[in-house]
Amino acid sequence: MTTAPSAAVPVMLDLRAHLRPPASPDGYVEMWNRLEPVLVTLDPRSGPRICLDMAEEGTVTVLFLSPATAPVPFSANTPFAVRGILEPPRVRYSCATCRREGATTYAPFTCTGCGSDERPGRVCDAHAVFLDGSLRTSCAEHVPVCRCGRTARAWCGGPRCRSGRAWCSDHLVRHRGDASVEYCLECHEERFPACERSGCTGTGLTRCEHRDPNDGKPCDRRMCAEHVTRWRIYGDRSPGLALCARHHGGLRTASPDTLVALILMGTAARAQSRRGSRQGSRRSAFLPRIGIVRHIFINTCNRVLDMGTLDSLFVQLQRDLQHRKAVAGGRGLTEAALRLLDQHAASRREDVQRFRDSHTEGKEHFARLRALLQQSGKYELADAITFADYRPKSGILFVRVPQEMRSRFIGSGGAVVKDLRARLGVNIQLERE
């Protein structure tokens, strides 16, 4: 082929009608050597496209890209530059099923059952088989089968299968709100678990957050939105722990150390699930201050514990967890609980000290209250009442009064307690029994 200088005549070869196009560069050189003696005899001004008949090989079309600038006439020394070649289309990916039938058809889809692992087989539009739930294709001979051996009808996109397993009609359950979506039995049960309440048809989307105080294992009973019960231990900043009917009903009779362990393990499980680099608007899980824990005990099981006792419960629980970690090794939930207790220690010390300071002031008010009762001749009542709590910010003194003496302490229309409040200068309230 002639080397193309700057004055070479640019041409393009159209081999789409050629029956046997060259398969190598040497073949193209050989073809050009046969075409060039014919080209130099032509006049490019007769038309930009010139068809050359090559007998049994078919037709080659020569396109002059710039006929107006070509020298006229051509000579044996006229240089040509081949700018491009249009080859006949080739089917690179042919359908395996069509090949067995003696035809060649373009196959845009793949079938893992055909071919090999390194290079899957191909399927054309006519022979491609799609199952519901995925755009994965196969040929008719390699349609996936269910685990029971029957031909599958759909892929399961549930949390267990993730569109990786196909199932027959007998092992598929329709989505409750969308009949076009189906799951296998296991994925449907996990996606739409039944509520623990007998006879309830709702979906138990909420898990019970109760954790075994000994090993931290979750209850995981499921509850629907109507039957879930929350233990409000975080105030308004976060939803309370979701508890099933059994564990919520057992709070009232649980021992103080069990309640503290439940608060800690439930909060630790939340803190563990919220760890990671993604923070966003998610709130971290923190233990409630022991001042709040004290009221949790009052509201849950009518137990009134002082701050020092509550602090000792947390300290003992921390020792138990440290011992468990030393014996059984570090576990995720145990480590999360110990981190929370370390973070909680400073606020507990503050609350205990504030409690002691307020009680010192409160007991002074309580001593004056007993003196006022004695001055009024109510000696039996003065000996029966006991100090409960004092809130210095709100100026409220809580006292415990035996049930049989409450009417005498309050008086007709509240006259006695109102007089005591006015003379003492603080708001006197009866501690709830």
Q: At residue 276, does pLDDT exceed 50?
A: no
Tokens of 101: 């039938």
Strand order in the sheet with 396-400: 386-391, 396-400, 427-430
Predicted local distance difference test score (pLDDT) of residue 191: 87
Q: At residue 2, does pLDDT exceed 80?
A: no
CA dist 229 → 191, 253, 377 (Å) = 21, 17, 50
Q: What is the mean pLDDT of the chain?
A: 86
Tens digit of pLDDT for each residue in 165-203?
Answer: 999 999 999 887 788 889 999 999 888 888 999 888 888
Number of structural domains the chain divides into: 4
Please report which confidence band the pLDDT of residue 5 belongs to, taking 50, 70 and 90 as the band edges: very low
Together in a domain, 102 and 187? yes
Tokens of 183: 């799951």
Higher-pLDDT residue of 331 and 356 is 356
Residue 326 lies in a domain: no
Phi then psi dihedrals of residue 77, to 5 deg? -100, 5
Q: What CATH number does residue 380 fall under?
A: 3.30.300.20
pTM: 0.59
Higher-pLDDT residue of 376 and 275 is 376
Residue 209 lies in a domain: yes
Tens digit of pLDDT for each residue in 305-352?
Answer: 888 899 999 999 999 888 888 877 656 888 889 999 999 999 999 888
Contact 65, 93 (CB under 8 A): no
Contact 408, 274 (CB under 8 A): no
Residue-range definition of the domain harbouring residue 136: 96-191
Predicted local distance difference test score (pLDDT) of residue 281: 40
Most trustworthy range by pLDDT among 40-54, 145-159, 281-295: 145-159
Which of these three, 124, 159, 191, is where a domain ends? 191
Residue 234 lies in a domain: yes
The pLDDT of 6-20, averaged and rounded, is 87
